[in-house]
Chain A
Amino acid sequence: MSQRQITFEVLRYNPEADSAPWIQTYSVPCEEEWVILDAINYIKDHLDSTLSYRWSCHMAVCGSCGMTVNGEPTLSCKAFLRDYKGSKIRVEPLTHFPVERDLVVVLDDFMEKLQSVKPYLMPKTEKPVEEGEYKQTPRQLKNYKQYTMCINCMLCYAACPQYALNPEFIGPAALALTHRYNLDSRDAGRSERQEVVAQHEGVWECSFVGACSEVCPKDVDPAGAIQQMKIASTVDWHLEHLMPWRRK
């Protein structure tokens, strides 16, 4: 195992004590097979216990450790140091979110938006438990499975230029999850979700830059989901306006 000395420039900010965020540097003896999160953990354990950041699973499942690494929204447990050349790495909190402290951001805005799109199954008629499960074929599962992979890591919001311009935008992850439930054969809640999706701040705020899909560590492709919903919403609009006698 070979070691590499890397200087980490880490953004520090304590709103109660600091007037502005500042950069602290740490020199970390890194093992070759480490990921960024390992180095951050090393700093916390050996160099500076006051550094705050979120992490839990260390295996790209919990979605807690999103950070901006060298300017890119990155899941720090999935970013191997061997892919970073040079002796300096800059680590900052995710952009477009208020900083709570150091690398920890406030996620309230996303949580509200996620709730607004009703990301849960809304069957047409609720079946009593005795009648058994809602059945689904493998093909019906495949329809939406990709969109279930989202781990709410928020990298897509940090990458989205439209979310930066207009914080009212529902945003990539919440819309991808909307799509996930809309496509589920057991669900009948699409028209309820459309009340949010079909607004200006829903899919229409997206200009298909595609940065969300590029940074997504789980290959969910939120940009694709949003474009598919734009097509469906356009069909809806024409049916509603050109055939008003047609019932939903």
Chain B
Amino acid sequence: MAKSNKPIVWGLFAAGGTVSAFVIPVMILITGLLVPLGVFGSEAMSYDRMTAFAGNWLVKVILFGVLTLTLWHAAHRLRVTAHDFGLRNDGPIAIAVYGLAGLFTAVALFALLSI
């Protein structure tokens, strides 16, 4: 039997898991709670400031990494969860979840490059 090609998606899954564990909780805290509550002032995430922030190439790279790796992590997690719940048609599920992750990776790339 041949060696599996799963390392492609699993590598992204593992990297995304690490990123999610370290970065996402604090991102939710900042963007979902502290900023809306006005802790950093009402202009903290204004359009102008955020465009300027995301205009920096280093920020673009980091944002692209955090957004897409998290997506690929979620995609693979959903595929495995479906498997654990007994959904046996793995092929279509894999195409659906990785397709979405790929689509939004392209969207993120396009959006970041257009800033």
Write the residues of chain A forming the contact surface with B, with a CB cutoff of 8 angstroms: 161, 165, 194-195, 198-202, 204, 207, 209, 230-231, 233-234, 236-238
Nearest-neighbour CB distance to chain A for B43, whole angstroms, equals: 43
B80 touches A207 (CB 8 A): yes
* A-B CB contact pairs (8 Å), 7 listed: A161-B84, A198-B4, A199-B4, A201-B1, A234-B7, A234-B14, A237-B5
Given contacts A230-B14, A231-B14, contact A237 B2 (CB under 8 A): no
B3 touches A199 (CB 8 A): yes
CB neighbours (8 Å) of B8 from chain A are 237
| CB-based closest 10 A-B pairs | A237-B7, A234-B7, A198-B3, A204-B6, A207-B80, A200-B4, A234-B11, A204-B4, A199-B1, A199-B4
Nearest-neighbour CB distance to chain B for A102, whole angstroms, equals: 30
Contact with A along B54-84 (1 / 0, CB 8 A): 0000000000000000000000000010011
Nearest-neighbour CB distance to chain A for B9, whole angstroms, equals: 10
B53 within 8 A of A: no
B4 touches A202 (CB 8 A): yes
B84 touches A207 (CB 8 A): yes
B40 within 8 A of A: no
A209 touches B11 (CB 8 A): no
Nearest-neighbour CB distance to chain B for A248, whole angstroms, equals: 12
Nearest-neighbour CB distance to chain B for A234, whole angstroms, equals: 4
Q: A207 vs B11: C-alpha distance in the bound complex, in angstroms?
A: 14
B83 touches A207 (CB 8 A): yes
Q: A234 vs B3: C-alpha distance in the bound complex, in angstroms?
A: 11
Given contacts A161-B84, A209-B84, contact A204 B2 (CB under 8 A): no
Nearest-neighbour CB distance to chain B for A48, whole angstroms, equals: 38
Among B1, B5, B6, B84, find the residue whose CB has the most chain A CB atoms closer than 10 A.
B6
Nearest-neighbour CB distance to chain B for A137, whole angstroms, equals: 30
Given contacts A194-B3, A209-B84, A237-B3, contact A204 B11 (CB under 8 A): no
CB neighbours (8 Å) of A207 from chain B are 80, 83-84
Nearest-neighbour CB distance to chain B for A38, whole angstroms, equals: 37
Name the interface residues of B1-27: CB closer than 8 Å to any CB of A: 1-8, 10-11, 14
Given known contacts A201-B1, A209-B84, A234-B11, what 11 new A-B pairs fall within 8 Å (CB)? Answer: A161-B84, A195-B3, A204-B6, A204-B10, A207-B80, A230-B7, A230-B14, A234-B10, A237-B3, A237-B5, A237-B7
